Amino acid sequence: MRPVRSAIAALATAALSLPLIAAAPHSDAQPDRLRSAAPEGFFVGTAVAGGGHHLEQDYPDPFTHDKEYRRILGRQFNSVSPENQMKWEFIHPERDRYDFGAADAIVAFAEKHGQVVRGHTLLWHSQNPQWLEQGDFSKEELRGILREHITTVVGRYAGRIQQWDVANEIFDDQGRLRTQDNIWIRELGPGIVADAFRWAHEADPEAKLFLNDYNVESVNTKSNAYHALVQDLLKQGVPVHGFSAQAHLSTRYGFPGDLEANLRRFDALGLETAITELDVRMDVPEGGVPTEAQQRRQAEYYQRALSACLAVDGCDSFTIWGFTDKYSWVPVFFEGEGFANVMTDDFVRKPAFYALRDTLKAARKG
């Protein structure tokens, strides 16, 4: 986050000499909202629930059906990320058919509420449709399929997406490119990553193009692999603009205390950085109600992740992976863990919510 203190001071002075104007419906002048607490130019976002694991739950699509959910989504955040709705299996269900309905609705919602959008994702090993994974395509065909997909999807939303996760999770935890489970890298070789960035940039020259992964919060083997890759891509003139850490954290492990240092070394390469999918899961306690100590520890992780981003110049985008435990992916994917979000099932704010709000407020004050 770059300091904007002088701009804020100028605005404050200007405000004194202006007549009072009635607040617009989505004005940011609401101090209890995360988006209003945030410093100028800082984006605080959430995933928009729908698709993926939600399809197997006994509730209807959250984004389209849950009024309270939508209300909070519009009020609290100034950035949104489709949780599943722009993934291949969702947006490109058959080779010759795209389904833009859900993604269009999210982008329209964002524009109505003065929010930016993070597009997620274009080149990944997971959540690909059967027709693609089992398709038995030639290399030329596959290359054509990826190029057409990127051109079509990025082109459709050109000028309306702030950041794209172009490549998602391309390294394993040992820092090896996923040459087995990533169909693109396996079939087309590592050079396809650079091409994906080039095609995305052609389709939307304004969007900031990111490499995104989990377990890259710290300086470690995996983030080192990204650090090397970025330098290589930049040397080739590939339009890569950002490196982001998902930050799916668990209180089972310590907080990655070198997160800020890690983001800084990417910043030093001239890249933007971002936190894109923060949640902080905990062991489900006996009785099923988190203890105060658990909640405090969780709040501390949220606060430290946000502070790390705020402290780094080019880290202007901070996204939590959903805001209510009601729709979290965590209990479905991590046995025995849960309560990872900043609001309860009933949208009651947890200590983690207040930790974020107060940290944003403090940063806004400079």
Looking at residues 225 to 254 of the shown chain, list those that interact with ligand XIL (rule: CB under 6 A).
Answer: 246
Residue number with CB closer to ligand XIL (90 or 157): 90
Residue type, 322: G
Return the residue of 36, 76, 84, 115 that touches ligand XIL, per CB under 6 A.
Answer: 84
Residue 55 DSSP symbol: G
Binding string, residues 111-150; x marks residues near ligand XIL by CB under 6 A: ----------------------------------------
Residue number with CB closer to ligand XIL (214 or 354): 214
Residue 83 interacts with ligand XIL (CB under 6 A): yes or no: yes
**Nearest residue (beta carbon) to ligand XIL:** 52
State how far Cα 301 lies from the chain centre.
17
Q: Residue ranges of the alpha helices (H) in the chain?
A: 5-16, 34-37, 62-65, 67-76, 88-91, 101-112, 130-133, 139-156, 183-188, 191-203, 221-235, 259-267, 292-311, 330-333, 351-365
Return the residue of 34, 39, 48, 52 that touches ligand XIL, per CB under 6 A.
Answer: 52
For the bound state, the minimum distance from the C-beta of residue 163 to ligand XIL, rounded and expressed in Å, comes to 13
Query: Which residue stretch of 13-21, 48-56, 100-108, 298-306 sits at the interface with ligand XIL (rule: CB under 6 A)?
Result: 48-56
> Annotated catalytic sites, by residue?
169, 277
User: What gap in Å lies between CA 340 and CA 322, rounded to an integer?
Assistant: 9
Looking at residues 309 to 348 of the shown chain, list those that interact with ligand XIL (rule: CB under 6 A).
Answer: 329
Residue number with CB closer to ligand XIL (78 or 168): 168
User: What gap in Å lies between CA 291 and CA 157, rounded to an integer?
Assistant: 44
The CB-based long-range contact list for 103-110 (8 Å cut-off, 24+ gap) reads 103/157, 105/63, 105/64, 106/48, 106/63, 106/80, 106/82, 107/157, 107/160, 107/161, 109/48, 109/63, 109/70, 109/73, 109/74, 109/80, 110/80
Binding string, residues 149-178; x marks residues near ligand XIL by CB under 6 A: -------------------x----------
Cα end-to-end span (Å), the chain: 11
Residue number with CB closer to ligand XIL (266 or 329): 329
Q: Return residues touching ligand XIL (CB under 6 A).
A: 52-54, 83-84, 168, 214, 246, 277, 329
